[in-house]
Amino acid sequence: MRIVLAEDHFLLRDGLIRLLQAYGHEVTAAVDNGADLLRALTDHQPDVAVVDVRLPPHFTDEGLRAVLTARRTTPTLPVLLLSQYVEPLYARELLASGGRGVGYMLKDRVTNGSQFLDSIRRVADGGTAMDPEVISQLLIRKERDESVAALSTREREVLEWLAQGRSNAGIAQGLFITEKAVAKHISNIFTKLNLLPTDTDNRRVLAVLTYLDQ
């Protein structure tokens, strides 16, 4: 994969570059601020962008703003946000930007290289990779929306695992239920969120985006 990386901490940025290259990926640009990130996304058109939310000069949301601007012209640009903190507002803004291929991981909760690389792959393939803590915060806020009442407790649990990019088998193992039960819950979720089958859309991703997006 061709990857644009944005991380202001030198040691972490250098470590990420080495990790990605060790697994055969090409880091086409590695930047440390929002302005350079936007230029890199425009110039390199990467397969996926791995971006720290807070970048110089103000360390607020420069990374997020750069990818949102880039997605206005390239809506299909896959983006994996990295953050030190759970920031539901930023996650919702990314989800609201449309398109597929979105992720939000917390730096301190990335415990191994395989986990991180798998998240990047899922996002690059158009899927989702949301940290459970981020999902939890989004769902707490989403409880205020009356549309949530349409989903059962178990269906919301299944949807949380879908947001992490898990397969039916992975969800079944995590929730200690059968794959047949998982498939039934997912079918119910599609129905309640009015997601009809199509030849072009991934309903698993659309279900996650529909539910989490405000």
Q: Which residue has the tokens 């072009």?
A: 200
With both helix axes pointing from N to C terminus, report the angle between 168-175 and 179-192 in degrees, rounded to the nearest 10: 110
- Mean pLDDT across 8-17: 95
What is the average pLDDT across 88-111?
81
Dihedrals phi, psi of 173, to nearest 5 degrees = -65, -45
Sign of CA dihedral 205, 189, 213, 115: negative
Please state, in angstroms and as integers, the Cα–Cα distance from residue 38 to each residue in 30, 65, 95, 148, 172, following that order: 12, 9, 19, 36, 40
In angstroms, the CA 182 to CA 184 distance is 5
Q: Which residue has the higher pLDDT, 213 or 18?
A: 18
Cα–Cα dist 208/174, whole Å: 18
Hey, what CATH topology would domain 143-214 get? Arc Repressor Mutant, subunit A (1.10.10)
Statement: residue 159 has pLDDT above 50 = yes
Residues 111-132: tens digit of each pLDDT: 888 889 999 999 999 988 888 8
The answer to whether 42 and 2 have CB atoms below 8 angstroms apart is no
Question: What architecture does CATH give domain 1-132?
Answer: 3-Layer(aba) Sandwich (3.40)
pLDDT at 206 exceeding the cut of 80:
no
Q: Which amino acid makes up residue 191?
A: T
Picking from 50, 61, 42, the residue whose alpha carbon sits closest to that of residue 13 is: 50
Q: Is the pLDDT of residue 4 over 90?
A: yes
Q: Report how far apart, in Å, the C-alpha atoms of 134 and of each of 28, 31, 81, 156, 176 are.
A: 28, 25, 11, 14, 23
How many CB atoms are closer than 10 A to CB 89?
12
Q: Say what the pLDDT of residue 81 is.
A: 93
DSSP state of 148: G
Q: Is 188 helix (H, G, I), strand (E, B) or coil?
A: helix
* In the chain, ranges of CATH 1.10.10.10 domains: 143-214
pLDDT at 162: 86
Residue ranges, CATH 3.40.50.2300, the chain: 1-132
pLDDT of 93 higher than 90: no
Q: What is the pLDDT averaged over residues 90-114?
A: 82
Q: Specify the pLDDT at position 214.
A: 42
- pTM of the model as a whole: 0.71
Q: Rounded mean pLDDT of 10-31?
A: 96
pLDDT at residue 105 above 80?
yes
